[in-house]
A = this chain, B = another copy of it.
Amino acid sequence: MKAGILTIGDEIISGFSVDTNSVWLAQELLKRGITTLKKASVGDDPEAIREVLARWDGKLDLVIATGGLGPTHDDITKTAFCQYFNSELRFDEGYWELLIERFKKRGYDIPANNRAQAEIPIKSVAIPNPVGTAPGLQFRSGTTTFYVLPGVPTEMKAIMTEQILPEMGSGDMVPILTLRTTGIIESALAEKLKHVVSALKGIQVAYLPAYTGVDIRLRALEPVVMTPDVIESAAGEIESILGDLVYARGDTTLEEVVGKLLKERKETLALAESCSGGLASSRITDIPGSSAYMLGAVVAYSNEAKIRHLSVDADTLKAHGAVSEATAREMAEGVKSVFNAHWGVATTGISGPTGGTTAKPVGLVFTAVAGIKRTVVREARLVPHRLPHKAAASQVALNLLRLEILHHG
């Protein structure tokens, strides 16, 4: 089945409101084997709405429109659908009684402008709204079914979940699997995988790059002929080629992976952050239960802080500079020692915009992990922009920690 999602509202097209409805809808449909082929957004404008309906009618099996059904929107959406389907309105006494009752229960008299919400297009079926006053509507035209839903996410989701989705299948019809990689750029990843990917049948492979790594998403193209085993076997093949480059499946984060490893081994962690400025610690402490292994961190932005709180040697700073292999090593070993942790992690680099030189440009970072058996330091040139650099530097450091725990823990 092929679907289209139409989001309606001046707020959406003028950029004041992020459209999360269509994201949720597309995911729920996909899980049921329904592919969203198109999305469109228009303002509170009946002509623009009708134009989209005309374009999708007969070409798609399912159209879901959201927005413009509230009492303050003058029923623009309902008007547009009535015009398109050439439908009159009928006043639904039963629905009106239900609304009056619902308001009474909450101790209110119903405002007069809610009356319009009991006007149902004759050519539609009203769908009860369990959490709001505007009912959803269903229209049919040939092979295309149209749903019109309120734009308030809780109302839209309630109507979909309780009334519409149950008719569309169980929600586990399309196997989707994401492999998360870090430490390799998208083009190099695609190069490594080109043979295995081109040999896959019926599976779509997508690369989703970010500064912190590239996700590989595997998705069955044809729900009916695929089983989870096929996706699983493709994922296994890719993992065997990529090895350690894959740190997780699904939406698991690197900080969750590291946290799980530390928890299982009953080992502890302390961080010494310079260029990442607290971000790596914040990521570690995003995980519920992280206090079991996270002892603490020192954000050492100044040389004095590195000397005083991390026992970095003043001579090291003088000889090699704050951004150097030697300083990173002493920071990691220092924080491990002062917190008496099993693992010490350090970052020192140049996030920019200023502070770069030819020898040490903006983007340079040294990350270090002082572990149970050894200390390692890695030099990397990351994106030379402050916020992505912080994100990437924290990722490189946590990934180095992951690899050291796995292989030298």
Which positions in A face B, CB cutoff 8 Å? Answer: 10-20, 22-30, 35-43, 45, 48, 70-74, 105-108, 111-114, 131, 152, 154, 185-188, 190-191, 197, 204-211, 217, 219, 271, 273, 276-282, 284-286, 288-291, 294-302, 304-305, 308-309, 338-339, 352-354, 361, 363, 381-383, 385-388, 390
Contacts and interface: CB of A to CB of B under 8 A. Distances in A.
Given A114-B187, A190-B73, A26 B13 contact: yes
17 contacts: A11-B206, A11-B208, A13-B38, A14-B35, A15-B24, A22-B41, A37-B42, A113-B190, A113-B191, A154-B211, A154-B385, A154-B388, A285-B301, A295-B305, A296-B298, A296-B299, A296-B300
A70 B12 CA distance: 27
B40 A14 contact: no
Nearest to A300: B296
Contacts of A11: 206, 208, 217
Contacts of A37: 13, 42-43, 45, 48
User: 10 tightest CB-CB pairs across the interface, nearest first?
Assistant: A277-B285, A15-B26, A278-B281, A15-B27, A278-B278, A297-B299, A39-B41, A278-B282, A296-B305, A106-B381
A131 B209 CA distance: 14
A108 B278 contact: no
